[in-house]
Amino acid sequence: MQELLEQLRRQFLEEIAKIEWEESLKELLSNYLGKTGKLKEILWGLKDLSNDEKKTIGPMANTLKVFMEEEIEKKSQELEDAHFAKIEDEEAIDVSLEFPLKGRGHRHPISITTKLMEDICISLGFKIADGPQIENEDYNFDKLNIPADHPARDVWDTFWIQDDINDKQPKNNKFLLRTHTSPVQIREMLKGRLPIKIIVPGRVFRYEQEDARHTCNFYQLEGLMVGEGVTFGDLKWTLDTIMKKLLGEDTKLRFRPSIFPFTEPSAEVDVSCQICKWTGITTPQSPPSKGGEVVRWKKCSMCSGSGWVELLGSGMVHPKVLTACGIDPEKYSGFAFGIGIDRIAAQRFGVSSSRMFYQSKLKLNEQF
């Protein structure tokens, strides 16, 4: 019996020495120490021995069991160490290795322009306000004097939020993607703190066919000033100052009468095109020749040759809008404007189609 135990010990040591994988070690464990393992088999034989033999062989078998367990534990640790040493070796990262920097990223032209506009307006005393992009119908339309079924709603082609969500909403309070930043005017006026002098830069959405001048989402900068004695002259001065600071002191502004349900009177404002320098034409397709040939000039694509670019809508806040927000139109007046940030960016950076800003063209964006 003693001999058998000694043989088993030798056999065990031989086998364990050859093991390279944790899996094989588990197998070895069950082969020797498992329920039907080799050591168990020997221990079963104990019952046929005399009491004296049992007394000597029993502890010996137990010592062997403990020995095997310790050996397996030791081997397991060895295998684990070897495994990590291998990983360390193969996957080591050389932090001192040099590689060429591909250049750092920077702000998108629209963000650059927004920041610039914010800085200019802040210097004029405006504060920045914000509102949600998912807006309710009441703020986006009704309180801005655009009731349901009013034809003016067609001007703002709208992305409505899914029917199953909107079906649960009360009438006139359905959710939509805001079509302009003007609902933030309502949010501010409803707070009931006067005077108000805010700007709202933000993203807006229109359900539109995309072309060179239209994209289904773009950025606006809304302006609102409400207080006692605010006049159209204040509006003109403010816009003139902002535009000159933005596009250059030689920029000219043209106010055209217009209609917005939430302002009265309303004006659309054009600025002299910076792309063609107010000429309506860009570089000649062929240089003038000595022989007095007629030079063919190319119409500027930004302003369609008119020399003017439409950049914003504006006007005096409609008394109905003030009333809807609990402000007395007899006592207070205000002006509002909404500037297309994308178009300003196109003007500033000399890009002829603002849609290009949304096409992830690194070659374009990297230039600014």
Which residues here bind ligand PHE, judged by CB under 6 A?
180, 182, 222, 260, 263, 313-315, 336-338
Which residue's CB is nearer to ligand PHE, number 37 or number 265?
265
To ligand PHE, the closest distance from the beta carbon of 257 in angstroms equals 13
Q: How far is the CB of 350 from ligand PHE (least distance, A)?
A: 25
Closest approach, Cβ 145 to ligand PHE, in A, equals 11
Residue 92 CB, nearest approach to ligand PHE (Å): 58
What are the beta bridge partners of residue 204? 218
d(CA 336, CA 262) in angstroms, rounded, equals 9
Residue 329: exposure state from Cβ atoms within 10 A (0-12, 13-18, ≥19): middle
Q: Which is nearer to ligand PHE, 9 or 318 (CB)?
A: 318
Structure-token pair, residue 365:
């964006």
* CB 220 to ligand PHE: min, Å: 6
Q: Is 309 helix (H, G, I), strand (E, B) or coil?
A: strand
Q: To which residue do tokens 């939430």 refer? A: 262
Nearest to 237 by CA among 354, 337, 361, 357: 337
CB of 68 or CB of 312, closer to ligand PHE: 312
To ligand PHE, the closest distance from the beta carbon of 179 in angstroms equals: 7
CB of 135 to ligand PHE, least distance (A): 12
Q: Are strands 196-205 and 127-128 parallel, antiparallel or unpaired?
A: parallel
Contact 354, 301 (CB under 8 A): no
Alpha-carbon gap, residue 285 to 23, rounded angstroms: 77
Distance CA 95, CA 315 (A): 60
Judged by beta carbon, residue 202 or residue 313, the one nearer ligand PHE is: 313
Q: In whole angstroms, how close is the CB of 314 to ligand PHE at the nearest point?
A: 5
- Choose between 72 and 221: whose C-beta lies nearer to ligand PHE: 221
CB of 303 to ligand PHE, least distance (A): 19
C-alpha separations of 65 from 7, 35, 61, 97 in Å: 14, 13, 6, 52
Q: By C-beta, is 185 or 272 nearer to ligand PHE?
A: 185
What is the C-alpha to C-alpha distance for residues 224 and 182, in angstroms, rounded to an integer?
Answer: 9
Cβ closest to ligand PHE, residue 76 vs residue 241: 241
**How far does the chain reach from its first CA to its final CA, in angstroms?**
89
**Contact (CB, 8 A) for 311 and 256:** no
CB 196 within 8 A of CB 280: no
| 139 vs 260 by CB, closer to ligand PHE | 260
226 close to 189: Cβ distance less than 8 angstroms: yes
Shortest Cβ 192–ligand PHE spacing (Å): 21
- If the CB atoms of residues 145 and 314 are measured against ligand PHE, the closer one turns out to be 314
Q: Which two tokens stand for residue 193?
A: 């703190």
Evaluate the omega torsion of the peptide bond into residue 265 and state whether it is cis, within 30 degrees of 0. yes
Unique residue bearing structure tokens 């000597």: 56
Largest CA distance in the chain: 131
Closer to ligand PHE by CB, 113 or 266: give it: 266
